[in-house]
Structure 1
Amino acid sequence: MPSMRPQADAAPVFDRHGRIKAGTVVTADFDASLVDYRDTLGLTVVEAGAVPSDLAASWGAPAAGGARMALLAPVSGNGCFLRLVEGAPVPGYRPARSFGWAAFEITVADVFALHARLADSGFTVIGPPKKVAGFNNFIPMQVVGRGGEILYLNQVLEDMADLDLPLAAAPVDVIFIAVQAASDRAATLAFQRQALGLEEGGTFAIPYGVINNAFGLPADHRSTLTMTKVGRLPVAEIDQYPPDATARPRPAGGLPPGNAVISLGVDRLDRVAAPLLAPATVHPGPLYAGRRSACVAGPDGEIYELIEMGEVGNA
């Protein structure tokens, strides 16, 4: 099926305002999770060590300082990363039952082949790959990892009417949408627009299997979601969660379990209209590449790590 995207020489640079640079997963089973992401998903470890104390402070999670950490990248080397951080088990945490970052949506080359590879891994398939009626843009699959993180592993087929969806350049490639479980969808949308400079995309009401299964709702129950974007670049999916959802349980001074942090490119930190959790700093390593970064918290306490791209990155 042909793509609607522009020719490659007209494509914007990867690092720009609104780009998802990384997703951070907190897991109590660090060694096994690392094997899952490296050997099953085929990501490459590009940095490993302990979380620096100043980085943990920037997250508003000083207790995470010194925790084991690994930064992984797809073999395409396009500039997107997935970061694992070790954390203690959090009693009461259940995937897709609390507010905050609910899932990372990742583009994959062959979702059916990947599904076969997951059989002997630490990932549990909660939504096997299948085409969805009315959606011809991708073939979705949903899994839960050892840390209680949810990944949407989607084989992109073509762009949407108002969004460019990335074709995979590796078996498992970039995070292209961050899925937010919101207590108040309108409030989260307003925050992303006003504080972060994102744009409102489409709003949809759909039978959402992940939500319906997690809350024991009928299969035809519809949830409302709104997309945010920068131009044709997708950024987040804001899902209105049911009344039975709760605040994400979180250890004192630590990161939330599962899908913990989204690292997002912004043109300038001084344009962010939300209080920083700590002063902007520069951290070493391939994710930050000498750029300043700082974090803000959204309406449900979700952590946005903002990496300053500069005006040139917005071209």
Structure 2
Amino acid sequence: MSPSSSSSPTAASPAASPAAASSEYAKLVASLSPEEILTKWSEITPLKKISGIPRSAGSDSSSNTASQDSDLFTGHDEEQIRLMEELCIILDYNDKPLGAGTKKLCHIMDNINQGLLHRAFSVFLFNEDGKLLLQQRADEKITFPAMWTNTCCSHPLCVPSELGINTNTNTNTSSSSSTTTNTTASNDVNDLATAVEGAKVAAQRKLDHELGIPLTGVPIENFTYLTRIHYKAPSGDERSPWGEHEIDYILILKTKNDITLNANHNEVKDYKYVSAEELNQMFEDKTLVFTPWFKLICKTFLFKWWSNLDSLSQFKDDEIHRLL
């Protein structure tokens, strides 16, 4: 059955444009200069102080290490706590990389409410039958536990390969080894094409880490970049100390039906391939909870992409869609 948006409560609607972001929060984020961001959050390491980053990038701000707030992690899984020390890419409103901040720093709701923004990616993997691979996040996850979402959603690390810089060397970027060499991007971290290449490298790493998909099964050239969305959401109810505030790079991946899956149960509780009709049925099931970014993407974009998997280039743009 062809994917259709007509019967779905998540049906595609006209995409938001950058000019559509008129909320007070959007104005706050837009008002923050790079200097203000690096001063306000002194824990951020400016780009120029990170090995392998071109010296023309970044700021002269100093950085300090923030003390750990152990109360935030009480009762949480030790591996997930460790992953909160990974270094995300801190951004200004226009998606310009400013430096490195811990995953913890980026996801504390108090920081988010003051405008702290970081880079992310979302992968939508479709098999030969046109079915979308969904995952249910593990109960152990600190943010958005047990929620259903798209195939893989995570963050490029603030390292040269995942910023998209052509280092011409193999790079191990985290506990999950990534041996991908980026040979197409420039050294301009402010260039969109460079950032897209970095997001693809990060996506390869996390597809392996979360779902056990080997790098050979998802080569860089098979990813199709479409657009960016900018959104903000608390993790759970408004009382949660955690949340998301990201510029999210959307990556589409079409694979063979026999792709290897070996889920990491510390990351993924369950997974399944679904048709558009089956996804709509899942949305109608009130016992299921979905991540906020997945719901936004479904409402605004997904079904029209799904109906045109063989002609996705028509949807590619350079915009940042502000869904705030």
Per the TM superposition, whether the score is higher than 0.5 is no
Choose between structure 1 and 2: higher strand proportion.
1
TM-score where L is the length of structure 1 = 0.28
TM-score where L is the length of structure 2 = 0.28
